[in-house]
Chains A and B, each alone.
Chain A
Amino acid sequence: MAKFFAVTIIIIAILSAIPILRHTWDAPEDISTHGALIDEQMSETMAEAGIAFLAAQFVLAIFVWMFSNRGPDAKITKFPGGAKGLVIAAFLVVGIEVLALGVFGVKAWATVYLTPPAADAMPIQVQAGQFAFYFRYPGPDGKFGAIHPELVNEGSQNYFGLDPEHDPASRDDVVAAEMAIPINKEIHLLMHAKDVGHSFFVRELRVQQDFVPGVDVTLHFTATKVGKYEIVCTQLCGLGHYNMKAYLEVMSQQDFDDWMKKEVALQ
């Protein structure tokens, strides 16, 4: 029974590692300027955690194989070095690993969150509400009109609660159900929650950020590959949570300019 346990645990450990080694279910290709740092951090952590996982399971299996049901006359011995060596090893190996991951990880985090957006970054506001995203561009005047929650009316398509009658800045705002951005242009995303908590997740962009009702949070990123990608909500927001999604379309600058002209004409 002990040997069967040992073999089983080794087989499980190896089978568990195969999809990781074969990259069967890896995240899709990164399309952001900051994503490489996250991917690198992920790979390093996978290597360290993977070695720890396999080593622990293998040692457990070997010891169970060797030291189980040895009969009444078996001599009980002690692991050479006792607990002291193990504690020192844990502090040194895990401590160094922790420091390395912690210190290097700061760089990737800082790139996304601790650096301000470039002065010429393109502002886009995204509003999340049960169960749709809406996107707003400031229009030719470069200014967003103010949000008046009491004016929100989905029936008349005033998703943001704009007041074009009294607020000139809102008159040329472009509101869309899909997010179009130009390639290689930094985007400054202004995130506004209309009702409850939501989240903005684009796997390819290596971006995930919650919306905080009552507080507008911001995010900045640059997309590097033309294409159409799904934006999904990852914060449980109610019965339609599973169906809350939109598309991000990364375009060439020319295509984006054409798209914007068309949208402005539609407003």
Chain B
Amino acid sequence: MVRAEALDAMEFPELSNQFRVQGVPQTVINSGGGIVVGAYPEAQMLAEVRRAMGA
């Protein structure tokens, strides 16, 4: 049910452009359902994932 990918932003410019990656790390939740720029603490990241999933 959960998949996680780390992607080299430089090697996959099409995806980086699609999600407007300007700084790293940037986490894209469900292909744009949510976008988190920067390294968030676990609790905040969880809140963003919940929000993106409408949970």
Q: Do A and B bind each other?
A: no
**Which chain A residues have a beta carbon within 8 Å of chain B's beta carbons?**
none
